[in-house]
Structure 1
Amino acid sequence: MEPSLRTPDAASAPLGHPDADLLHAIIDLIPARVVFVDADHRYRYVNKAFLSFVRRPAEEILGRSVAQVFGEEVYEAYRPLEPRLAAGEMVWREGWVDYPGHGRRYIQEGLAPYRSGEVSGILAFARDFTELKQSEEELARRLDRLQASEALNAAVVNSALDCVIVIDEEGCVLEFNPAAEATFGVTRDAVMGKPIGDIIVPPALRRRHAEGFKRYLATGQGSVIGRRIEVEGMRADGSVFPVELAITEVRLPERRFFTAYLRDLTPAREAAAEIEAQRTRLHQMEKLSAMGSLLAGVAHELNNPLAILIAQATLLQDKAPTDDVRRRAERIHAAAGRAGRIVKSFVGMARQKPPQREPVDLNEIVEAAAEMTAYGRRSAGIGIERALSPGLPVVSADKDLLGQVAANLLLNATQVLLEQEGERRIFVRTHMEAGAVVITVADNGPGVPPEIRARIFEPYFTTKPVGAGTGIGLSISRGIVESHGGRIEVGDRPGGGAQFRVVLPCEAAVPQEPAAEEARGPSGLSILIVDDEIDVAGSLAEMLEDMGHRTRVLEGSAPALAELNRVRFDAAFFDLRMPGLNGIELWRQVAARDPALAGRTIVMTGDMVAGPELVGGPAGEGGPILLEKPFTAESVREALAQAEASGPA
């Protein structure tokens, strides 16, 4: 408890001191609060510090009890100490005390019994450390906040995705976060306190870095601080890479720091390059798609006159009055047939259709691919040597897709040899090997470097200059070969150059069947021919009449429907592309009227891209018989034989 005091003129010294005034003066000078209370806990003496605290005069304090001055709650806090004081013990206590009307105070207090014979009272000395304690607590709170802030800053820095590096005015590292460790390949412990220029700045830039940093420290002028720039950084292995850099300056009273934020631009640059490459690929694919559409249109336009050429050449051969005319007809027929095969080969590559397995002769596929790609070789003076093994087993495969593989390999070999001086040759070979059928395409060029052989079949990978290739030919070829259960390999040609091998396993091969006799269709039929290209229809009619059939040629679907209402035919040939009702729509009309004739209807088309799907449907079933232009006498006979097999007319 805090006993009250009294001033020298308010009461005499309670301790019986001979010079009470002097004693009072001394006690009043003490910064602590000093009081004396009697056995009834009434204030008998209080000093000036106490009166200043209670803000009351001595007359209102002296003679009053502790409970009257401070309240029962404060008084009761002293009750537990009475036994110890009564026993003559000096008691010290320290802590927070709530004084009604005076607030909460932090007190350090000493209580001592006063004896004059028997205990006559208690002397109390109290020091108020409230402001000091509050300062300590505020400092502790600030330290806690600072520590929490530092922990938060450390967590932010350590978890940052970008590199955070702090250096001092000497350019030495003070902080190096985990992202910086991962990016530059060096640990924080290894770089702390070391010059940053020796760690992440490439040697060629270190002098410029040092001079710029020194100039900024001296003048405050620089081209880096406070800006985002792109520079080069160096990893621990010496490799240089692009980084985005931003530096901020932190000034303290005694010193300053520089915090650098860095981001590795390598992934961004790679992503940008990939986006640009994808854009180029998309553009290339769009051009290829446009070329495919153009090719389909060109093929359709070429196939009609080719059909006339082949049909007329066939008729001219059969009816030639002299051997000289027959030979001329044979040349015309051969040239038109070659043109037709080239068109079909191109269209087969552009056609979007699911693989169709059928028995095919690999030698024929290779010959067709060589014929289709011959112009580029001839114009460049590149020779070709064939070594095609006779009697190869027939392979169950998609003829168009394997033809695309052979053409791709021949075109690649041609392009490789274009820049080579001296003799330039391509070598094509087919043979059996360990039960597999093998196509080999080789050249005497520079060959394929070993370091790129693992990537040469990747999509869009190419070593050709921009505009000379798409990088998809070999990738597509590998997919085609693997879909047939085979493999495609690249290696060195004996004697120099590159060598590609297409290997189809023995499971894909079927025994060579003996050549069937020439297919002969039925004879003496009544046949309706409908085509808006009257010359094509006329040539087909002549061909059919030469086979012994009777024909009726009509131009367009409207007169055909009228004729069908009047006359019944044994078979019919409809062109696919016609004004009004096209060939499929006309066939549907026939199917509704005469299902038997619908089964013996043949639809002709020179559109070898979209035509087959339109005629046969997506599944290739349920439609009329398809005859591709340009047709030959053999293909016409085969179509008629297929029609005859569908049932009687």
Structure 2
Amino acid sequence: MKLRLKLLIFLAAMSIILGLAMGPLVYWGVSNAIISEVAKRGIALVTENSFKLQLKDALKSRSEKALLPHLNNILSNINAIYVEALLLDGSVIARTNVAEKGGVRDDPELRLAVEGNIPVYKRDVLYGKPVLIITCPVWAEQESDEGEEFLLTGGPGAASRSKAGILRVGISLEEALDTTRRILMLIFAALGGICLAGIGFIFFFTGRTLKQLDMLIAATAQVGRSGVCADVPVLLADEIGELASGFNKMSRQLATTMVSRDFLNTVLGNMLDALIVADTEGKIQMVNNAMLAMTDFSESEIIGRSYHELLAPGGVSGSVAKLPPSGDTASNIDAVLIARSGEKIPVMAGFSHIHNGGENAGGTIISAKDMRQHRKIQAMLRQSDKLAAVGQLAAGVAHEINNPLGIILGFSQSVTKRLKETDPLTAPLKTIEREAVRCKDLVQNLLVFSRSYKNEQRELMELNSPVDSALALVEAQTKTRSVELIREPGAGLPKIYANKIQIQQLIINLANNAVDAMPEGGTLSVKTSLSLNRPGYVEIQVRDTGIGITPEIRQKIFEPFFTTKEVGKGTGLGLSLVHEIVNKHGGAITLESEEGKGTVFIVTLPAQQAAADRETML
């Protein structure tokens, strides 16, 4: 059986097996995720509407007439199929479908909501249609000084609070299931396309590979019959191609008894790794083109020098800089070459002795592979791993802090409302409220940085509004730092669809960086306008007359945790957070800088229609 047919059968079998194995799992995962999200949103909407409508008071009355207006409001607000109110024993007090009122419910979800003090949901079928039934306890107020009561979840100390009753809501799942089917169709269509593309690639790849192998087989037979040189065209750049190249070299060696000096020089000149040949005293006798290109020396400058002069005394990771005293070879040694400019180049070196037919060495051969790009890639991978870990940690910590912060903020606001302005506790409580809000904003920054905050509240707004608010906060700092603040708001700009707090944060971070770049004072200009380079976008320019930014720093300036400030004066998150906010809003940020003259950051954001289109796509 041909190799290509074997690969085709294998790929087809694997595709079928993976499809049969992953299909149910993908459907189960997508369906559960969407239904879970529908349930969470439904519970949140029921909670919000129950609180606004003061449903607990109507439940206490146990009057169908008092309850029906509230239930109908909830029905219309959350687009439910039905809403019903029950007593704790399961008796139905009121139901939006009056024809089905009355009766007693006794099911596991009701018992769990009553006994477990938590909202419960399950998937069911009603009138032949799939529905999600949400069962929530409604909490009665308790006479205590603990603060504002929570209606549905009970909050801390739920076991000691009494329930006014149970609220049950039925929400249609038809749209959610249609979404599930569409997502699955897209997933399987994409997987099918990938499989077909993979099979096509394998056919293309194997075709060239088999052609190369057929040519090698024919050439091998020719060399075996006649012993003459038989060159094979190298069609591939992989191991098969290397095999073809090796065969060609072997064939030529068999066809001749001597390799010419010109041929040897050509081989050495085309080597990718640097090569040094030194005599027994360590003086360089020959180098190849790769060595000259790497160090920027000319051949006349390097011939006759000791190779020890080109190697740093220490090197990367404490590597040696000269041939070990014992042993014929030494490979994979981290060393450092010194270039003509003084630059230290990390290399992976190999050393070997030249033997002239006897035991004594006739010199030394040194090969050196340039490791600069390799080191850079390693550093990027380490940085990427670190940022991934920090991002996960930031998201986890932020989510954990959000819950107690919400409790602190809620109770402090509730107690403050009940106290008079003259009460001595009012000022401390307002301080607690203010600091809790500040901590909450910090948590939101962490969530933005970790990319895990999805419920961003955006609104249509005038661009100049958040810019002006942000500059009002920065203005005091500019005055104390002898910086003149110039506002240049554009007139008649289209509205943007954005998160006001994040736009303010963007302006504050850019302005603070600009002020820090002008230690001796200067001018900070903030201008808004239509973008000339990107139609349909608005533009914010933050310009300073500071020290400027070097090209080296520009390449890293948006990297998280990169900072040029002293330890303790900067976290390195400011500009990376700006970059993240701009990306989340579908915009772009660029900078122009000249050392000693200043820097301008240019932020472009989509105007109303472009932003709305992007939000719809998301």
TM, length-normalised to structure 1: 0.38
Q: Which has the higher helix share?
A: 2
Question: Bigger radius of gyration, 1 or 2?
Answer: 1
